[in-house]
């Protein structure tokens, strides 16, 4: 019974934790501009993150070592350092976007300017990391993030023409004033949003924080194979709502307020209240995860003591990295850059860093030294390689497309 409860809790947390500011903004933006004509990318992305997160979970449960620990070991100090720099910068950029998202959600709820909320948000993130136990922090924000299910309720309430939505989803091509370049650019952005590197750093380090062993493999797998796809459905609901409400009206999504508007239109003030709490929880939870991931990557590359399973003073360099990253995020946002635009760029840069992150995972998941007899089978390896090829293509195409489309315009 307790086991079932644990598994259920894990799944619910995974659903709520799946969606972050990148998913919110990118899915709404793409839904408004392309309808569901890019929905297939979300599905491809979710399968990819399931595939690789499961490998991470297995490596952690069998060896007790998180991903970045192994990246340096398998790639050597030089390539490992390149991976570290790329992953760290992308994660930092995502942290900036998440903190901006928290502040924007508070602005929408209160009417007080987001720049005033921002230092408070960054401080609150630090305080929670400093004082709150890992399992509690993951559960509270994951469960509150589940409130984003209102996006799905809203989509049903809007009463869309399901046939037309299906028609869009099965026709993968640009529409209206869009062209193939913008189509591909936003496809890559969606891919980056679904497979953001920090998700695997956090997932695998979280496994160590919670002291996973072989017997936790079931939990890890159910989180990944049930929780993530349901989280992906949430992403599709966000895209669907925007496709129904904004595409016909010619509205482009540029603010967080617009992201939440379909829920208000469908469900009124109460719906809006719920979605704002959900957005707050999702972005705050993701801010915690990205801030921790900044610390995880550097500390694991260098071999420092890290983690929340020890007292802060025993992992002092890890905590200093987190504090420095939060201060950097705050300073960046104080320049009044638009957090929504930071988000749009962060998911594309995430897509660029993906092959470097995922290659070592594939290698280690095949190494009996780490996973014993729980090695990848031929099917998993075939899928793994296909995705690696896909990630490499997306990564190589990201910058040229960014230039051609002037950042997706």
Partner 1 sequence: MPGESGRVLHAQLHLLDRQLIDQADGHLAGKVDDVELDLDADPPVVTALITGRERITARRIVDITTAVTVSVEDLDLDYYDDWVENHVIAKIPGARHAPE
Partner 2 sequence: MRRAVAVALLLVLVLSSCADPDQKLRSAAAQSARDAASEVSTTRLAVEQLRAHRLWSQSAGQMVEDAQKGVEKAASSFSSQQPSTVTSTRLYEQVTKTLDDAQTAVTAVRIALGNGDLAAAEQQLTALRRSDADLGRIGELAK
| Contacting positions for partner 2 (CB under 8 A) | 107-111, 177, 179, 245, 249-252, 254-255, 257-258, 260-261, 264-265, 267-269, 272, 409
Taking CB under 8 A as the criterion, the residue among 64, 119, 160, 257 binding partner 1 is 64
In angstroms, rounded to a whole number, what is the distance separating the alpha carbons of residues 104 and 171?
A: 34
In angstroms, rounded to a whole number, what is the distance separating the alpha carbons of residues 337 and 75?
A: 36
> Going residue by residue from 65 to 84, which x/- string records binding to partner 1, judged by CB under 8 A?
x---x--xx--xx--x----
From the list 299, 190, 306, 181, the residue with the least C-alpha distance to 242 is 190
In angstroms, rounded to a whole number, what is the distance separating the alpha carbons of residues 49 and 229?
A: 9
Count other C-beta atoms under 10 Å from residue 3's C-beta: 10
Binding partner of 265, given partner 2, partner 1, none, CB within 5-8 angstroms per partner class: partner 2
Task: Locate 400 and state its tokens.
Answer: 């040229």
For residue 89, the Cα-to-chain-centroid distance in whole angstroms is 15
Region of 156-164, 188-196, 298-306, 397-405 interacting with partner 1 (CB under 8 A): 298-306
> Going residue by residue from 190 to 229, which x/- string records binding to partner 1, judged by CB under 8 A?
----------------------------------------
In angstroms, rounded to a whole number, what is the distance separating the alpha carbons of residues 389 and 16?
A: 29
Cβ nearer to partner 2, comparing 21 with 351:
21
Is residue 124 near partner 1 by the rule CB under 8 A? Answer: no
Question: DSSP letter at 253?
Answer: P
Write down the least CB distance from residue 68 to partner 1, Å.
Answer: 11
Binding partner of 179, given partner 1, partner 2, none, CB within 5-8 angstroms per partner class: partner 2
Burial class (CB in 10 A: 0-12, 13-18, 19+), 1: exposed
Write down the least CB distance from residue 163 to partner 2, Å.
Answer: 25
Q: Strand (E) positions, 156-248?
A: none
Any residues with CB less than 8 A from the CB of 365 and at least 6 apart, and which?
Answer: 55, 58, 59, 371, 375, 376, 380, 384
Taking CB under 8 A as the criterion, the residue among 13, 26, 27, 63 binding partner 1 is 63
Question: DSSP letter at 195?
Answer: S
From the list 250, 232, 242, the residue with the least C-alpha distance to 191 is 232
In angstroms, rounded to a whole number, what is the distance separating the alpha carbons of residues 313 and 324?
A: 16
Cβ nearer to partner 1, comparing 230 with 299:
299
Taking CB under 8 A as the criterion, the residue among 85, 132, 273, 404 binding partner 1 is 132
Binding partner of 73, given partner 2, partner 1, none, CB within 5-8 angstroms per partner class: partner 1
Size of the site for partner 1 (CB under 8 A): 33
Q: How many CA atoms lie within 13 A of 86 on its CB side?
A: 21
Residue numbers 348-367 binding partner 1 by CB under 8 A: none
| Residue in the block written with tokens 């309430």 | 157
> Going residue by residue from 242 to 281, which x/- string records binding to partner 1, judged by CB under 8 A?
----------------------------------------
Is residue 390 near partner 1 by the rule CB under 8 A? Answer: no
Cβ nearer to partner 2, comparing 86 with 105:
105
Cβ nearer to partner 2, comparing 157 with 381:
157
Burial class (CB in 10 A: 0-12, 13-18, 19+), 403: exposed
Binding partner of 328, given partner 2, partner 1, none, CB within 5-8 angstroms per partner class: none
CB of 275 within 8 A of CB of 263? yes
Region of 43-51, 86-94, 314-322, 374-382 interacting with partner 1 (CB under 8 A): 314-322
Write down the least CB distance from residue 262 to partner 1, Å.
Answer: 38
The contact set with partner 1 (CB under 8 A) reads 63-65, 69, 72-73, 76-77, 80, 130-134, 136, 299, 302-306, 308, 310-314, 316-317, 319-320, 369-370
């Amino acid at each position: 019974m307790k086991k079932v409860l644990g598994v259920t809790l894990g799944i619910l947390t995974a659903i709520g934790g799946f969606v972050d500011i990148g998913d919110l903004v990118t899915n709404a933006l793409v839904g408004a501009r392309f309808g569901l004509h890019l929905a297939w990318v979300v599905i491809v992305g979710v399968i990819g993150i399931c595939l690789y997160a499961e490998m991470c979970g297995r490596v952690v449960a069998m060896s007790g070592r998180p991903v970045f620990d192994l990246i340096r070991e398998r790639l050597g100090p030089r390539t490992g350092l390149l991976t570290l720099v790329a992953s760290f910068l992308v994660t930092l950029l995502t942290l900036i976007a998440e903190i901006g998202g928290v502040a924007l959600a508070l602005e929408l709820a209160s009417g007080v300017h987001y720049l005033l909320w921002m230092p408070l948000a960054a401080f609150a993130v630090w305080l929670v990391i400093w004082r709150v136990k890992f399992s509690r922090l993951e559960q509270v924000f994951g469960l509150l993030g589940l409130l984003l299910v209102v996006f799905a309720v809203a989509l049903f309430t809007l009463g869309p023409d399901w046939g037309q939505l299906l028609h869009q989803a099965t026709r993968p091509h640009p529409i209206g004033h869009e062209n193939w370049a913008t189509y591909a650019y936003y496809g890559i952005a969606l891919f980056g949003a679904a497979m953001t590197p920090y998700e695997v750093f956090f997932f695998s380090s979280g496994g160590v924080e919670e002291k996973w062993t072989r017997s936790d493999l079931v939990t890890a797998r159910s989180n990944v194979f049930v929780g993530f796809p349901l989280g992906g459905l949430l992403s599709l609901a966000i895209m669907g709502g925007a496709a129904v409400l904004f595409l016909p009206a010619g509205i482009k999504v540029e603010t967080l307020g617009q992201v939440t508007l379909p829920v208000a239109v469908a469900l009124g003030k109460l719906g809006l209240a719920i979605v704002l709490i959900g957005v707050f929880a999702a972005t705050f939870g993701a801010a915690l995860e990205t801030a921790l991931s900044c610390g995880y990557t550097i500390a694991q590359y260098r071999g420092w003591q890290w983690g929340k399973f020890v007292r802060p003073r025993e992992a002092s360099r890890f905590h200093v990295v987190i504090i420095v990253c939060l201060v950097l995020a705050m300073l960046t946002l104080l320049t009044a850059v638009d957090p929504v635009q930071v988000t749009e760029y962060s998911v594309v840069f995430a897509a660029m860093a993906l092959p470097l992150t995922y290659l070592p995972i594939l290698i280690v998941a095949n190494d009996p030294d780490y996973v014993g007899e729980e090695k990848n089978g031929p099917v998993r390896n075939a899928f793994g390689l296909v995705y690696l090829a896909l990630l490499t293509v997306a990564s190589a195409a990201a910058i040229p497309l960014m230039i051609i489309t002037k950042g997706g315009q």
